[in-house]
Amino acid sequence: MDTVDIRPPLAMPTPVAIWHTEHVYFKRLLDLLRRQVDVFQTGERPNYELMVDIITYLRDYSDRFHHPREDIAFACLAKRCPDMAPELARLGQEHRVIANAGEMLLKLLQAILSEAIVVRAEVEAAAATYLVYYGNHIAREERDVLAHAAQALTPQDWDAVNNAVPQGRDPLFGADPPGQHYRELRRQLATSA
């Protein structure tokens, strides 16, 4: 079986390039999640295990490392570009909304896997909330924030961002092979590439 390398390039990217690359990865995961949610419309069973893996990864990596680094970058950028402060505050608030929506969806999916009876419409609504919030959030950051951050933030600001949150090992897209937990998710990403 041919494999597709989904890891980032080895060149030393800028902080904004890393931010953008992570967004690309997160969008791929959201697309994969959306395809599973769309299976509901066919009357078939989605791959709930895969859905749990996607949400778990986004909660474990994005909510613990990516979003907290962005929050620090937003604070630095708000100091350098005060006119952006309200939008940056909204984006920071959305990090909390995304985390809560992900937690709610994860609980529903875990209940299904535990053979509890869960109303399909409830899962669809939770998934739609998560997908719409997360997708729109990424799009706004890409459109409204990244270019400003690249221009306005100083090396000291980027040091503050990098030092504020410990670097976490990316268990899916990082340089190390994925652990057993994410092998199927990585395989699905490779086949959808």
What local confidence, expressed as pLDDT, does residue 3 receive? 53
**Cα dihedral sign, 182-184-187-189:** negative
**In which band, very low, low, confident or very high, does the pLDDT at 8 lie, cut at 50, 70 and 90?**
low
pLDDT at res. 7: 55
Mean pLDDT value of segment 73-97: 97
Among residues 178, 161, 160, the alpha carbon closest in space to that of 169 is found at 178
CA distance 15 to 7: 16
Question: Looking at the predicted structure, is the pLDDT value of residue 165 above 90?
Answer: no
Average pLDDT, the chain: 89
Average pLDDT over residues 124-150: 96
pLDDT in tens, 22-71: 999 999 999 999 999 999 889 899 999 999 999 999 998 888 889 999 99
Q: What's the pLDDT at 1?
A: 44
Asked whether the predicted pLDDT for residue 193 surpasses 70, the reply is no
CATH architecture, domain 15-165: Up-down Bundle (1.20)
Higher pLDDT, 41 or 153: 153
What number is the average pLDDT over the span 137-153? Answer: 96
Pick left, alpha or beta for residue 21 (phi over 0 → left; psi -120 to 50 → alpha; otherwise beta).
alpha
Query: 18 pLDDT exceeds 70?
Result: yes
Mean pLDDT, residues 171-188 taken together: 76
Q: What is the pLDDT of residues 118-127, one digit of tens each?
A: 999 999 999 9
Domain ranges of the chain: 15-165
Neighbours of 89 (CB within 10 A): 13
